Structure 1
Amino acid sequence: MADPMKIRANHNNGVTEVKVLMAHPMEGGMRKDSQGNLVPAHFIKEVKATSGGKTVMQCMWGQSVSQNPYLAFKFKGGAKGEKVQLNWVDNKGDSRTDEATIA
């Protein structure tokens, strides 16, 4: 299981801003190791954020996203004290879900 995501969520003037740092190797499958063998692809393919039971952001990723990706987004709504939950799923079927309280 991957390390926990670092999530910050702040609410201001009706808009919630979320910043996330995800720990993941994000291997594209084209790099070779020291013996010349291809390193197998291992990357996040879907990211989803929910707040108040509603999906507020969803995206599909591929091999071109860098290691330990950073993601920032805003959505209308949310309130201080509510939770924002983020979930990712990678191409090997691993997943991670973490949450943060909106400040």
Structure 2
Amino acid sequence: MANPMKIRAAVKDGVTEVKVLMSHEMETGQRKDSSGNLVPAHFITELTVVWNGKTVLDAQFGPAVSKNPYLAFKFKGGAKGDKVVVTWKDNKGDSRTDEAAIA
């Protein structure tokens, strides 16, 4: 399984800003190794962010996203101490879920 995501969430004036740094190789399937063989595609395909049981972000990724993707977004609502849960799945069936408390 991949390294934990780095998640920061903070609320200000009723709007929560979430910043996520995901650890993932994000291989496109088009790069060749030193032997000239294609490196198999391995990238995040789905990302979901849930706050208080409500999905606040649902995204689909593809091979064009860079290695160790960074994502920042805002949503209305949230209070200090609430949990934000981030889950990704990739094209090889791997997944990771991490959470952070809103500051």
Please, what TM-score do these two structures have when normalized by structure 2?
0.99
Task: Give the distance between the partners of 1:101 and 1:31, measured in 2 at CA.
Answer: 38
Pair 1:37-2:26 in alignment: no
- CA deviations over 1:31-82 (Å, ceiling 9, x no partner): 0000000000000000000000000001000000000000001000011110
Residue of structure 2 equivalent to 1:53: 53
Q: How large is the RMSD of aligned CA atoms in angstroms?
A: 0.3
- Where structure 2 has 5 or more consecutive residues not aligned to the other structure, the ranges are none
Opposite residue 88 of structure 2, the aligned amino acid is W
Task: Give the distance between the partners of 1:82 and 1:6, measured in 2 at CA.
Answer: 17
Task: Give the distance between the partners of 1:78 and 1:53, measured in 2 at CA.
Answer: 12
Please, what TM-score do these two structures have when normalized by structure 1?
0.99
Question: Which stretches of structure 1, 4 residues or more, deviate above 4 A after TM superposition?
Answer: none
Opposite residue 92 of structure 2, the aligned amino acid is K
Query: How many residues in Structure 1 have an aligned counterpart in Structure 2?
Result: 103
- Where structure 1 has 5 or more consecutive residues not aligned to the other structure, the ranges are none
Residue of structure 1 equivalent to 2:92: 92
Task: Give the distance between the partners of 2:53 and 2:92, measured in 1 at CA.
Answer: 27
Once the two structures are TM-superposed, the CA of residue 99 in structure 1 deviates from its matched residue by 0.2
